[in-house]
Structure 1
Amino acid sequence: MSQTVTTREPATRPARRRTGRPWALIVAVCLVFGFLYAPIVWLALVSFNDSRTVSRFTGFSTHWYAELVQDERVIAALGLTLRIALSSAVVCTIVGTLAAFGLRRTFRGRGLWTVVLTLPLVVPEVVMGVSLLAFFVKLAGIPLGFWALLAAHVAFSLSFVVVVVRSRLAGMDTRLQEAAADLGAGPLTAFRTVTLPLVAPAIAAGSAFAFLLSFDDVVISSYLTGVGSTTLPVFVYGQASKRGVSPEIVALSTAMVGVSALLLLIGVAVVTWRARRVGRRVDLTVAG
């Protein structure tokens, strides 16, 4: 008489889900954010200190900001910085966008031009500042001042516009252009109604990058500053080197951080709004 033995495989236990919070990750993130933003928060608090020493808080006051508005040196440096930053952003936006569209095509020497246009991203600012100083003074004969600063800021900001716009072009769906052509749109019409609206957020982002890089630059500008052409970051660095960290410098630095952060938030909001609007408009255009 034979007997049949039935064996049962052990039931696999379901994986236990971790419901607890990753405290190690939370602590690490808090430490990183604290390391990055604690000095900025301290700077903002000290800028409203009534005392002339930054190490002792005696009361809340906006006296130092009023002093900045009345300082002619600060106003002159701010005006020069804004003129250079706006001019650099306009030139970089136009040239960088055209270069990004050009690098989208396949031609002989494309790799070389790509390296040339993106090389300033990895070149140290000290090396770039010294090389530009030698070029302007020894070879080109351009006097130090506004034009030398503008050329230098365009040189190191152009790469960011090229990279941002080119990355958007690389991720763009070419079927939208083909659909526009199938619907009877010519090359210029397809570019104006499909390509340009899709690339517009990247162009705006690249322009904002170029402006902020020029507005906050210290290293390269310090090499090319001439008599009566001191930018605001170079002015802050010079005053801090001579007199130390005074309440006026703290207030001026806080104002610069606030302006940069405000422009960055406005740029992000505009780019996000533009991207959503353009996406809906392109869908309607292709569907129609």
Structure 2
Amino acid sequence: MKLAVQGFTFDLTKTPESIGITLNFEGPQPNHFGATVAAAQPMQSGSFVGDTRQGGSCNAQDVYLNPHCNGTHTESISHIIDELLAPHEVIKQALVLAQVVTVKPEAGYTGTDRYQPVLENNDKIISKKNLTAVCKSIHTGVKALIIRTLPNDESKQSYQYGDEVQPPFFTNDAMKWLAKSTEIEHLLVDMPSVDRLCDDGLLSNHRLFWNVAAGCHQLKDSQYTHKTITEMAYIPQSIEDGIYLLNLQTPKLKLNAVPSHPVIYHPENN
């Protein structure tokens, strides 16, 4: 089956390419904000143990994880408001046109962009100038923006983000431009958060993307409830900047953020 979208043709019979991080419960895994490591252990109920290696009749595991901190995840506006809209309720289209762009965050930024709380000398940021430069040719009909940051080695899939590894983030000016001046509904990034690791709880970029006023935790008509943010993705170097077809796969869990598996279809040569 082939699908034509805005002048691009995609063969849906071909295997799409994953841009999600495999969460290995028995090996290295990414971590953010000092969260407990994701874990899986055999279910136990009475004399039953869910492990064939321990004499059980089948394998059944209890799983512990924090979607926001233990791997690739997709979140809705409910990350910052009281009302609960799960990601699967927000995502209305199974397939959307997406564009991959690559940007190199700036260290020791001296420009005029601002952030709340104020920027510090050691911050690595994606400025409005950075972002508009790589997004200057966003194709008509693109609803999902996939941002790869440099450097981009494979170790990014198991980074322990914290004091020793501070991830980059957007300036408020960059996020305001993205939210107000583009048609992007689904933002996918390879950082663990679009905001600074420690931001005094302001989440100013999240609020700009969803158009939620500072300090507000109530659902309002003016907010962008149709948008999602996917964080801690991983876009291999083999994937070139350009146009793709995105399938943002999320489970039907009634949560503000869920583990997710974004996959992309490569376009045929047109």
Q: One fold, TM greater than 0.5? A: no
- TM value normalised by structure 1: 0.24
More strand per residue: 2
More helix per residue: 1
Larger Rg: 1
